[in-house]
A = this chain, B = another copy of it.
Amino acid sequence: MRAVVLLSGGLDSATVLALARAAGYDCHCLSVDYGQRHRAELSAAARVAAALGAREHRIFRLDLTTFGGSALTDNTIGVPVAGVQAGIPVTYVPARNTILLSLALAWAEVLAAPHIFFGANAVDYSGYPDCRPEYMRAFETMANLATKAAAEGVRLTLHTPIIGLAKADIIRRGMELGVDYGMTVSCYQADDAGRACGRCDSCRLRKAGFTAAGLADPTRYQTG
């Protein structure tokens, strides 16, 4: 079975790729260079795709800094480092997941792949609206009206296998499947070598996940 797997280069999507491979899917991985600060995640994605036996890995480029509106796509907005707060943080990128999923939908249709895998998580996450299960269901419904494939009766399934898991459980599951999390980059402001800041929300959620799982954290941190 052919599937498109959205692969950011972070911990969550690497786990999702491992799960899709374990379930027997032939995985076509898509990473999107949208002008994010943390482009080190893109080279991480390439390494993860190769290590986990993806059929292919493509990087699609589009420039969301044109619109801005997020700490990840506008360099004048700082990435918060004081700790995870309530509410939707400034690292939210307007409509980002909708854009990523739309691109995955396009490629899935061209490949005749009726499956998309996406590493959204709604438990230990940053409060992003486009990570919620009800959003995923609405996207899937829309997708099944959008395409020629759907009009011809091929139903698309959007898989979000880790959406309900705590970070520690995601890590445990990935380790069982042999994911080397040292390859992955989650930090919102990783340096060019992929070393993490240790202070942004994404770093904090990841670090807490390894602690809760009782496992050694393989993340390479910047000095300090």
Contacts and interface: CB of A to CB of B under 8 A. Distances in A.
A66 interface: yes
A23 interface: no
A217 to B, nearest CB: 30
A58 interface: yes
A80 interface: no
A107 B58 contact: no
Most chain B beta carbons < 10 A, residue from A92, A96, A138, A148 = A148
Copies of this chain in its oligomeric complex: 2
B109 A98 contact: no
A161 interface: no
Nearest to A96: B106
B98 A146 contact: yes
B145 A142 contact: no
A136 to B, nearest CB: 9
A94 interface: yes
Contacts of A110: 67-69, 94
Interface stretch (A41-49, A126-134, A164-172, A205-213): A126-134
Interface of A: 58, 60-64, 66-69, 88, 92-99, 102-103, 105-107, 109-110, 129-130, 132, 134-135, 138-139, 141-143, 145-148, 150-151
A77 B110 CA distance: 14
Nearest to A152: B88
A145 B141 contact: no
B60 A61 contact: no
A203 to B, nearest CB: 22
Contacts of A102: 95, 98-99, 102
A143 B151 CA distance: 21
13 contacts: A61-B62, A62-B62, A67-B106, A69-B106, A69-B109, A94-B106, A94-B110, A95-B109, A95-B146, A98-B142, A99-B102, A99-B106, A141-B141
A110 B95 CA distance: 10
A142 B116 CA distance: 17
A94 B147 contact: yes
9 pairs of A and B residues whose beta carbons are closest in the complex: A69-B110, A95-B106, A94-B109, A62-B62, A138-B142, A135-B145, A129-B151, A95-B105, A98-B102
